[in-house]
């Protein structure tokens, strides 16, 4: 049956030709009884018109209507029996199925009004009138029902296709967002770890001859930092694998890991202190990761721009629905070049916006914005050095 429906959909003209042949076979015996060659030609023409009923439903109806009127007037062509009610019924159904409601109203009026006048003038003849009205109403309602059903199914199919397109678009957007998140995390991990490793390696090189033990300890910390960075990079790249392959992944860092982060930076040379005020709310791992990454990026910038001789301070102020992050440094002890202090090339940004054009500062701003916050990065107002301040509101409703 499915193949038959597909074949009929591909060749509608052949289907209509078959319908016309069936209608002609049903009506031929009664319509052509005791008639001549002219009636036979007339009969063939009205059925041939049904072949094009889908392409021109209104035109086909008026052709059948004209033939039926001419036959009923007995203009030399005698057509008897069941002709032409069945042909007109098919034509009316086709108009109701494929044409507009305004044209359908004209078609129904063209049959109903003359029929009512003719049958009432004959007696009246109620039974034939009821038959004509019933057949007319049935064919009209059937055509409207099928048309409405087909329109409804077409709308459902279009909605399904639209939903499928939207699903694919959402999947593409989600994949792009995930790639951006992975890129930010990769930048944070690589930049921070490399800054720590460079500072440790510089310290080891300076103390290699004077204090070999300190140099060996520094190189051991370089190795440990490199392994940690490699493990986190593998974890980040692991999200690109199949969902079922979850082996070897470690949890995302969070609030509890900030102290270890500070200790890691401290081991590279800078004197970093951590001050925590208040108690964080129950925000979930996403907010903890954002706080960790912002502190990590700020300390990475301290290592890169202020050097291992810098003095830095990290202050976290927790509330039930918000957190303030402040990371300051004194700019280090190198030759003065930039606005942040001696040897500090960092440039201030616009008020209320992160400074510079690096991915790290942009990533901090994006992480803060995800939790209704903002980041500012600028030289310290009360002396040399740099200040990064972030405010997040992870506990407030979106």
Q: What is the spatial distance between Cα 284 and Cα 282, in angstroms, rounded to a whole number? A: 6
Task: Give pLDDT, residue 201.
Answer: 82
pLDDT digits (tens, 9 = 90+) for 90-147: 888 889 998 888 899 998 898 888 888 888 887 778 888 888 888 889 989 998 999 8
Task: Give pLDDT, residue 83.
Answer: 47
Residue that terminates a domain, selected from 73, 104, 124: 124
Task: Give pLDDT, residue 337.
Answer: 45
Instruction: Using pLDDT thresholds of 50, 70 and 90, give the confidence band for residue 43.
Output: confident
Long-range contacts at 255-258 (CB < 8 A, ≥ 24 apart): 255/280, 255/288, 255/291, 255/292, 256/288, 257/292, 258/291, 258/292, 258/295, 258/314, 258/316
**378 or 45, greater pLDDT:** 378
Task: Give pLDDT, residue 267.
Answer: 85
| Residue 376, in any domain of the structure | yes
| Residue 88, in any domain of the structure | yes
| Residue 9, in any domain of the structure | yes
pLDDT digits (tens, 9 = 90+) for 206-224: 777 778 787 788 788 877 7
Q: What is the average per-residue pLDDT within 227-239?
A: 67
pLDDT digits (tens, 9 = 90+) for 242-260: 444 444 455 678 899 999 9
| Residue 227, in any domain of the structure | no
| Residue 81, in any domain of the structure | yes
Residue 193 has pLDDT above 50, yes or no: yes
| Residue 36, in any domain of the structure | yes
Task: Give pLDDT, residue 250.
Answer: 56
Q: What is the average per-residue pLDDT within 59-69?
A: 81
| Residue 218, in any domain of the structure | no
Q: Which of 10-19, 127-136, 258-267, 275-284 has the lowest mean pLDDT?
A: 10-19
Buried b (16+ CB within 10 A) or exposed e, 137-164: eebbeebeeebeeeeeeeeeeeeeeeee
Domain of 258, CATH number, reads: 3.30.565.10
Domain count, the chain: 2
Task: Give pLDDT, residue 270.
Answer: 87
Query: Is the bond preceding 124 in cis, omega lying within 30 degrees of 0?
Result: yes
Name the residue among 365, 335, 334, 336 with its Cα closest to residue 349: 365
Instruction: Using pLDDT thresholds of 50, 70 and 90, give the confidence band for residue 335.
Output: very low
**225 or 137, greater pLDDT:** 137
Task: Give pLDDT, residue 84.
Answer: 61
| Residue 350, in any domain of the structure | yes
Q: What is the spatial distance between Cα 167 and Cα 173, in angstroms, rounded to a whole number? A: 10
Note the pTM of the prediction, 2 decimals.
0.44
Task: Give pLDDT, residue 245.
Answer: 45
Residue that terminates a domain, selected from 89, 124, 159: 124
Residue that terminates a domain, selected from 80, 96, 124: 124
Q: What is the average per-residue pLDDT within 41-66?
A: 81
Q: What is the spatial distance between Cα 147 and Cα 163, in angstroms, rounded to a whole number? A: 24
Task: Give pLDDT, residue 355.
Answer: 43
User: Residue 395's domain spans which residues?
Assistant: 254-398
**85 or 334, greater pLDDT:** 85
Instruction: Using pLDDT thresholds of 50, 70 and 90, give the confidence band for residue 345.
Output: low
Q: In what order do the strands lie in the sheet with 271-277?
A: 271-277, 311-318, 323-329, 386-392, 374-379
Q: What is the mean pLDDT of the chain?
A: 77
Q: What is the average per-residue pLDDT within 146-174?
A: 86
**75 or 128, greater pLDDT:** 128
Q: What is the average per-residue pLDDT within 184-189?
A: 71
Task: Give pLDDT, residue 144.
Answer: 92
Q: Is 240 exposed, middle or buried (0-12, 13-18, 19+ CB in 10 A)?
A: exposed
**64 or 393, greater pLDDT:** 393
């Amino acid at each position: 049956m499915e193949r038959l429906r597909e074949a009929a959909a591909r060749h509608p003209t052949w289907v209509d030709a078959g319908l016309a042949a069936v209608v002609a076979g049903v009506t031929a015996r009664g319509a052509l009884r005791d008639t001549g060659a002219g009636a036979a030609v007339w009969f063939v023409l009205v059925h041939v018109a049904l072949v094009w009923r889908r392409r021109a439903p209104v035109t086909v109806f008026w052709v059948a209507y004209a033939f039926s009127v001419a036959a009923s007037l007995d203009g030399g062509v005698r057509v008897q029996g069941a002709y032409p009610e069945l042909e007109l019924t098919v034509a009316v159904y086709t108009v109701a199925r494929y044409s507009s409601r305004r044209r359908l109203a004209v078609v129904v009026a063209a049959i109903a009004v003359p029929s009512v006048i003719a049958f009432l003038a004959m007696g009246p003849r109620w039974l034939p009138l009821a038959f004509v009205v019933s057949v007319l109403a049935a064919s009209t309602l059937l055509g409207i029902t099928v048309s409405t059903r087909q329109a409804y199914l077409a709308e459902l199919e279009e909605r399904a296709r639209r939903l499928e397109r939207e699903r694919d678009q959402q999947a593409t957007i989600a994949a792009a967002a995930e790639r951006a998140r992975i890129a930010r995390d990769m930048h944070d991990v690589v930049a921070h770890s490399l800054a720590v490793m460079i500072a440790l390696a510089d310290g080891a090189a300076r103390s290699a001859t004077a204090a070999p033990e300190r140099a060996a300890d520094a190189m051991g910390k370089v190795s440990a930092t490199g392994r940690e960075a490699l493990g986190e990079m593998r974890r980040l790249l692991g999200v690109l694998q199949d969902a079922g392959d979850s082996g070897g992944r470690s949890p995302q860092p969070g609030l509890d890991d900030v102290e270890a982060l500070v200790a890691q930076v401290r081991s590279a040379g800078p004197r970093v202190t951590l001050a925590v005020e208040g108690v964080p709310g129950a925000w979930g791992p996403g907010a903890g990761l954002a706080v960790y990454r912002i502190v990590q990026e700020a300390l990475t910038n301290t290592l890169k721009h202020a050097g291992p001789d810098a003095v830095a301070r990290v202050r976290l102020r927790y509330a039930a629905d918000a957190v303030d992050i402040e990371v300051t440094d004194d700019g280090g002890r190198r030759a003065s070049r930039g606005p942040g202090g001696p040897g500090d090339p960092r440039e201030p940004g616009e008020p209320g916006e992160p400074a510079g054009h690096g991915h790290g500062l942009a990533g901090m701003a994006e992480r803060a914005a995800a939790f209704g916050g903002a980041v500012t990065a600028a030289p310290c107002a009360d002396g040399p050095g740099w200040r990064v301040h972030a405010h997040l509101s992870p506990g407030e409703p979106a």
